[in-house]
């Protein structure tokens, strides 16, 4: 089994499903849900571990909790926002608590920030952006990983139930890596199992498919200490605007929440399309929406699933040109971010209500 780092670039999702032994989200499972979400309809959220069992238990009145973390070393980008919007839908649909660890410790030991304090700034700023999506303040629990004694106590407890070899196999660490990285594997498992250990709720973890090995490790540990295993739902990767993965070190790949309209426009104008080299050829031969990042982003952020199907056909038949798509994407995203900033201003005064601060 390849480790999580080696799996990051595989985009043959059927192969990943096979490698990991996860289940695809079937039409039958979708029918069991009280409502649906666009990311489920377009297959962006496509696989799971035990989500079916969790839903069956929920229907019998057993509550679960959603656990979804954020490593704070930068402003959020739209790919992050997408997943948190889905988590908000899960919270609204199933009326369940959400736990959001902000892992300043991870960003420090992996040298993404110079000091823990640097990460703290982003932790609070990211929390405001997430809360601004409309999370229920009575049932949403952010915590700063290095500041919650419970997390440390649980991580220490879990560390006795995992071996260094298992951690190396999952994370791909070598002997030259610092010990903080090794111990962070126990902290991450503590985040995942926190709602179960502390509150008795089985965890549901929305996660990108390449991160499934971390879930598997946490499930193994849970079994060893006789806790219910966490369930997971897996997403595909949203490609960055240039076709590469979205990354803070390559700002042109993503739209960040603090980008201004000029930055958004210039990134979209340079984005990869499936268009022909000339307008004449585009009109005659049509474009290729399946290889077009602009289309992928339109489908994900702007269009309804039905509109996306129509748009695809218009592209293939040469009825639309790439400039039109880019303009539509720019207008949609600029509007989305404008509304987001207005919502963020509204949550600032009640931000404290979302945080767990100490052992209770």
Task: Please say which residue, 18 or 281, places its beta carbon nearer to ligand SF4.
Answer: 281
CB of 111 to ligand SF4, least distance (A): 38
Closest CB to ligand SF4 among residues 87, 322: 322
Give the residue with the Cβ less far from ligand SF4, 242 or 343.
242
Q: How many CB atoms lie within 10 A of CB 15?
A: 11
Per CB under 6 A, does 287 bind ligand SF4?
A: yes
Options 158, 292, 302, 308; binder of ligand SF4; rule CB under 6 A = 292
Single out the segment in contact with ligand SF4 by CB under 6 A; choices: 80-88, 184-192, 204-212, 267-275.
267-275
User: By rule CB under 6 A, what count of residues binds ligand SF4?
Assistant: 13
Within 13 Å of residue 359, how many CA atoms lie on the same side as its CB?
8
**List 69, 72, 97, 274, residue binding ligand SF4 (CB under 6 A):** 274
Binding residue (CB under 6 A) for ligand SF4 from 273, 297, 299, 347: 273
Q: Which is nearer to ligand SF4, 153 or 317 (CB)?
A: 317
Do residues 233 and 25 lie in contact, with contact meaning Cβ atoms separated by under 8 Å?
yes
**Residue 303-342 contact track with ligand SF4, rule CB under 6 A, x = bound:** ------------x----xxx--x-----------------
Q: Of the listed pieces 93-101, 189-197, 273-281, 335-343, which binds ligand SF4 according to CB under 6 A?
A: 273-281
Kindly state the smallest distance separating residue 292's Cβ from ligand SF4, in Å: 3
97 binds ligand SF4 (CB under 6 A): no
Beta strands 64-67 and 202-208, pairing class: parallel
- Is 4 near ligand SF4 (CB under 6 A)? no
Residues 6+ away with beta carbon under 8 Å from 4: 170, 171, 172, 210, 211, 212, 213, 214
Nearest C-alpha neighbor of 103 from the set 49, 44, 151: 151
| Residue 296 or 344 with smaller CB distance to ligand SF4 | 296
Quick one: which of 79, 195, 240, 275 contacts ligand SF4 (CB under 6 A)? 275
In the complex with ligand SF4, the residue whose CB is nearer, 14 or 281, is 281
Radius of gyration of the chain, Cα coordinates, nearest whole angstrom: 21
Q: What is the closest distance, in whole angstroms, from the C-beta atom of residue 316 to ligand SF4 in the complex?
A: 8
Please, what is the minimum distance in Å from the beta carbon of residue 280 to ligand SF4?
Answer: 14
Binding site for ligand SF4 (CB under 6 A): 273-275, 287, 289, 292, 294-295, 315, 320-322, 325
């Amino acid at each position: 089994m390849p480790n999580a780092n080696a799996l990051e670039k595989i985009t043959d999702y059927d192969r990943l499903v096979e490698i990991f032994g996860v289940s695809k989200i079937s039409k039958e499972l979708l029918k069991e849900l009280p409502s649906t979400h666009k990311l489920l309809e377009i297959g962006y959220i496509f696989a799971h571990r035990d989500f079916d069992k969790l839903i069956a238990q929920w229907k019998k009145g057993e509550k679960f909790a959603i656990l979804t973390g954020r490593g704070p070393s930068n402003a959020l980008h739209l790919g992050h926002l997408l997943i948190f919007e889905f988590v908000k839908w899960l919270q609204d649909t199933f009326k369940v608590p959400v736990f959001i660890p902000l892992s300043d410790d991870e960003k420090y030991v992996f040298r993404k920030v110079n000091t823990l304090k640097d990460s703290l700034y982003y932790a609070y700023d990211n929390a405001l952006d997430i809360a601004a999506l409309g999370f229920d303040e009575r049932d949403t629990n952010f915590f700063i990983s290095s500041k919650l004694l419970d997390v440390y106590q649980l991580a220490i407890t879990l560390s006795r139930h995992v071996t260094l070899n298992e951690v190396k196999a999952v994370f791909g660490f070598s002997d030259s890596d610092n010990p903080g990285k090794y111990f962070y594997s126990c902290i991450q498992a503590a985040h995942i199992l926190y709602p179960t250990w502390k509150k008795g709720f089985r965890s549901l973890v929305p996660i990108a498919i390449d991160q499934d090995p971390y879930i598997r490790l946490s499930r193994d540990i849970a079994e060893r200490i006789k806790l219910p295993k966490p369930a997971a739902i897996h997403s595909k990767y949203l490609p960055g605007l240039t076709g590469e993965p979205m990354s803070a070190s390559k700002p042109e790949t993503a739209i960040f929440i603090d980008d201004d309209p000029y930055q958004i426009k210039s990134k979209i104008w340079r984005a990869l399309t499936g268009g022909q080299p000339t307008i004449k050829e585009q009109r005659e031969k049509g474009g290729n929406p399946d290889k077009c990042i602009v289309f992928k982003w339109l489908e994900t952020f702007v269009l309804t699933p039905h509109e996306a199907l129509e748009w695809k056909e218009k592209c293939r038949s040469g009825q639309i040109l790439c400039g039109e798509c880019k303009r539509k994407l720019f207008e949609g995203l600029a509007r989305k971010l404008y509304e987001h900033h207005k919502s963020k201003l509204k949550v600032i005064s009640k931000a404290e209500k979302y945080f767990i601060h100490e052992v209770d």
